Amino acid sequence: MSARILLVALGGTIAMTGTGRGVTATMTADDILAAVPGLDRLGVTLETVTFRNQPSASLSILDILSLYELIGSRQPYGVVVTQGTDTLEETAYALDLLHDGPSALVVTGAMRNPTLAGADGPANVLAAVAVAASPAARDLGCLVVASDEIHAARRVRKTHATSVATFASSEGGPLGYVVEGIPRFVNRPARRSRPYPLAGCSPAPTSGAGWTALPWGRTEERQPASDHKARPHDLPAHERQPPDVHGQQPHYLAAHEQQSPDVSYRAARPAHLPDHERQPPDVSHQAARPQDLPAHEQQPPDARSEEVRPFDVPAPGARLPGDAGASVWLPRVGLYTATLGDDGELLDGFASALDGLVIAGFGVGHVPSAWPERLSRIAGRIPVVLTSRTGAGSVLHRTYDYPGSEQDLLRRGLIPAGFLHPYKARLLLQFLLSRGADRDEITEAFAAEG
């Protein structure tokens, strides 16, 4: 019996055709497969779904959650996801954090669109299907296949803007190669990422091909929507109140730290205040929403918006498409990169709108000497993760000791991310915060993933 492989198309360069002024995503999953020679020789049964058709820069975490829910409902032997390469390393890692079954989950794309000579999409799809059908690819989590190389989602990075050899794994190299159509693995990761489903996504093992279904948590387990409507960063700047250092401490503070004056993680979100202390929002300065305008001033809806909504920004508590009752809290986690001469003046304002912060420091985890005091204050309110902006190598722990060094920052409460890239550290922190992780759990997770 042949292996059943599900190919899900999300759009991207691999699915683009010309418009006269450039290219845009128009091809379906069946169109993509039709351009791939040699599929019949793989001896697999292929099913297709055109799930999205948009540039990968416009994908959201909710898209990825919905994608994984779809995959779980189909229970295939293996899966190939095609998408744009701009965010491929991030979506692959997000899927890696969700997937805890044995089946191969492979993500691929293309650097040259189908209108160009030497388009790489067909070869990448052929190799990806071969890997998804291979027993050797099972129990490895999410994989990225491109240019006949097989990469672990946790390691892989897009390293070049235009080269077809853009994907590389600086920490350990590829896991293997596709040689004459056969996946050959030359190394295996010491461990795979543990699953970190977002809050409201409680994975429950299912029979069959080893996929995990994603039943969205019971109503009483979900955080009420009212807890997300009045957070300071959801309010106009003129309505935000300065932090109250005597306010309630957020859930991600470990018990022993809640009594410590040094690492308080105290929050001043209105949602954490008793009902009688919350102030109603002042809507007088807010722009009128379309539904608030008189009927004659409202614009007719765009029929295309129901099918493809490339510029939606998922809000906290945003509902999953296709799910009638569930909502997922998506914490706001920001990434701030250290650059020469930055005095850190922007840090406080930036962090005030966040639930968590990732710092991409110089080298092994260093920042300008003007930053530590600011970062110390921020780390007393929200979790701050320290990464390296270099894209390869680990944050250190005990080598340098001066203002702004890794030892200085770790003493101030920043959490080291090890080898984990800043982009992926941001995703991991977002998933952890959505689950209600405390400081100890966050630290442990980064030690394991990094």
Res 197: pLDDT: 67
Q: Note the pTM of the prediction, 2 decimals.
A: 0.75
| Measured distance CA(434)–CA(216) in Å, rounded | 13
CATH, domain range 4-213:
3.40.50.1170
- The confidence score (pLDDT) of residue 297 equals 52
Query: Judging by DSSP bridges, how do beta strands 4-9 and 45-50 pair with one another?
Result: parallel
- The residues pairing with 416 across neighbouring beta strands, listed in sequence order, are 386
Mean pLDDT score, 384-393? 97
Q: Is the pLDDT of residue 112 over 70?
A: yes
The sign of the torsion formed by the CA atoms of 290, 294, 297, 302 equals positive
**In this structure, are residues 46 and 24 in contact, taking their beta carbons and an 8 Å threshold?**
no
Predicted pLDDT at 174: 97
Instruction: Give catalytic status of residue 13 as yes or no.
Output: yes
Q: Which of 13, 50, 82, 91 is catalytic?
A: 13
Name the least confident of 124-133, 160-169, 256-265, 320-329: 256-265
Taking the CB of residue 161, how many other CB atoms lie within 10 A of it? 9
Q: Break the chain into its structural domains and give their ranges.
A: 4-213, 333-449
Q: 119 versus 190: which is more confidently predicted?
A: 119
Is 445 in contact with 416 (CB distance < 8 Å)?
no
Q: Residue 269: what pLDDT?
A: 37
Check whether 315 has a pLDDT greater than 70.
Answer: no
Residue 371, CA distances (Å) to 36, 262, 333, 388, 405 in order? 52, 18, 19, 16, 10
Q: Region 76-95: what's the mean pLDDT? A: 98
Shared fold status for 4-213 and 333-449: yes
- 253 pLDDT more than 50: no
* Token pair in block for residue 12: 């991207």
The pLDDT of residue 385: 98
Whether the per-residue pLDDT at 225 is higher than 70: the answer is no
Q: Looking at the predicted structure, is the pLDDT value of residue 184 above 70?
A: yes
**CATH code that applies to domain 333-449:** 3.40.50.40
Distance between CA 383 and CA 396 in Å, rounded? 18
Q: Is the pLDDT of residue 259 over 50?
A: no
pLDDT for res 296: 55
Give the per-residue pLDDT at 19.
85
The pLDDT of residue 77 is: 96
Residue-wise pLDDT for 269-301, tens only, equals 333 344 454 444 443 434 444 444 555 554 443
CA–CA distance from 251 to each of 131, 168, 248, 326 (Å)?
41, 37, 9, 21
> pLDDT digits over 316-356, tens only?
334 444 443 356 778 999 999 999 999 999 999 999 999 99
Residue 437's pLDDT band (cuts 50, 70, 90)? very high
pLDDT band at 196 (very low <50, low <70, confident <90, very high): confident
